[in-house]
Amino acid sequence: MGRFRFRMQNILGIKEKIEEQEKQAFAMAASKLAEEEELLEECKRKKEELEDEARELRRTKIDVLKLKESEAGLKYQDEVIKAQLVKVRAAQKNLETQRIKMQKAVQERKTYDILRDKAFEEFMKEENAAEAKEIDQLTSYTYGKKTKDN
């Protein structure tokens, strides 16, 4: 039996490497999104702490300076949250872009896998046909030899 060689094996290898790179890029984008979302949650927790502190200041003896500082801190934290929301949205968009690239790479690799499978099937058909032809020749030779001997 002959040895199977896929003519486009080098292309398939490249497609597999590209697929792995895209998977890694997708994983990095997902990690970045998780990191940005965690920072957003941290900012929201800090804002809640500042709001609690502001409520406590209003309940106790009123200190105008501390109230102004508290209000300024809350406004600043709102700005930080808005900026972090922008980063989260950018990370989500990047994740979606990477997901699309990864899907395309997987699809291209699967296309070449299918081509390789079809080429292997064709190779097996040819090998089976050659084997059947060889068996027929041996059978004919054996039958012919028996007829000649008789």
Would you kindly state where each structural domain of the chain is located, as residue ranges?
10-42+82-140
Q: How far is CA 149 from CA 115, 136, 146, in A?
A: 51, 20, 5
Q: Is the pLDDT of residue 59 over 80?
A: yes
Mean pLDDT, the chain, rounded, equals: 91
| Residue 150 confidence (pLDDT) | 62
Mean pLDDT of all residues in 59-83: 88
Closest Cα to residue 15, out of 110, 132, 145?
Answer: 110
Q: What is the token pair recorded at 11?
A: 């292309």
Q: How far apart are CA 150 and CA 147, in angstroms?
A: 5
Q: What digits encode the pLDDT tens for the residues 17-42?
A: 999 999 999 999 999 999 999 999 99
Q: What is the pTM of this model?
A: 0.72
| Residue 20 confidence (pLDDT) | 96
Please indicate whether residue 4 or residue 113 has the higher confidence score (pLDDT): 113
Q: What digits encode the pLDDT tens for the residues 92-134?
A: 999 999 999 999 999 999 999 999 999 999 999 999 999 999 8
Closest Cα to residue 98, out of 38, 19, 40, 39?
Answer: 19
